[in-house]
Structure 1
Amino acid sequence: MEVIGPVRYLKVIARDSTGQGHADTVLYQFFEHDQLQRVATNADLRRLKTLGKTYLKCAWFNTDESEERHLRIFSQNPSADGTPEQVRLHFHEGPLIAYKAAAQDLDNDGELELIWSSDVDNDGRSNRTDRSRVTALVKQFLKLGW
């Protein structure tokens, strides 16, 4: 069976541009069919502010100008009714997915009933805080309508 990737996704890249050991810069790129469509505009940046703050808490960043470590976040609509029922988060290390998280709306009522996550904030524990971060990232992503 052929695995098909997301058609549209938001790529989030955090960088430690000062060398202080924590990310201080977040970049956002919108992709369609693995082709860059655009980088975030000023209007997007205002809407992405909370998503960026939450993503920085995940401690998944680059210590240089690379994009090796990044998040790809996308929604899926298995029922084909036009509303997202699943949102997936793929934390990449280069071309490989280092770990995943997801949220699902089981009854398509706009509420997320299931949250799957591992240790998304890289503190050595997979717990309620990780699920809370995934929920926040998903909700902010869905507000974009992307």
Structure 2
Amino acid sequence: MPFALSHGHCALPTKPRSAAHSGQNLVELALTLPLMLLLVFFTIDAGRAWMTYESAKMAVRSASYTASIYHSASVGQTQLNNKLAASGLKGTGIVKQIPNQHAYQSSVKVTFTPLFAHLSIPTISGPQRVLPADINITYAGVTDVSVY
């Protein structure tokens, strides 16, 4: 049995690799890499969806606040449209005054497209989509009361 020498000292005996174990690392990598990549990309997409939701929420809050400060739904609508455009979101929103009150309510509906929206898995019955093409995110019900 061969011994490995390390700086003049006798180390533990080493075994030569057999031919049966030569591809083990490659097989383990082939089995685990797709799952690890799926986990990483799902995490990235979940973060992007959360960022889209938070951007929509901030646009709605800013629009309601601006409308209540300026006592104008049209100014709030302009603010909402500017915030959506600055965030790069595709969507529509509305700012309206609550009747007989000095309060403004706004809501927005944006569309989120996942990175792998067009990924499909081949099956016997035909390709099956993994994710929907678009996900609608709605944030509504933000009300700010203006104080005179």
Between structure 1 and structure 2, the one with the greater Rg is 2
Greater share of strand: 1
Q: TM-score, normalised to structure 1's length?
A: 0.27
Greater share of helix: 2
Q: TM-score, normalised to structure 2's length?
A: 0.27
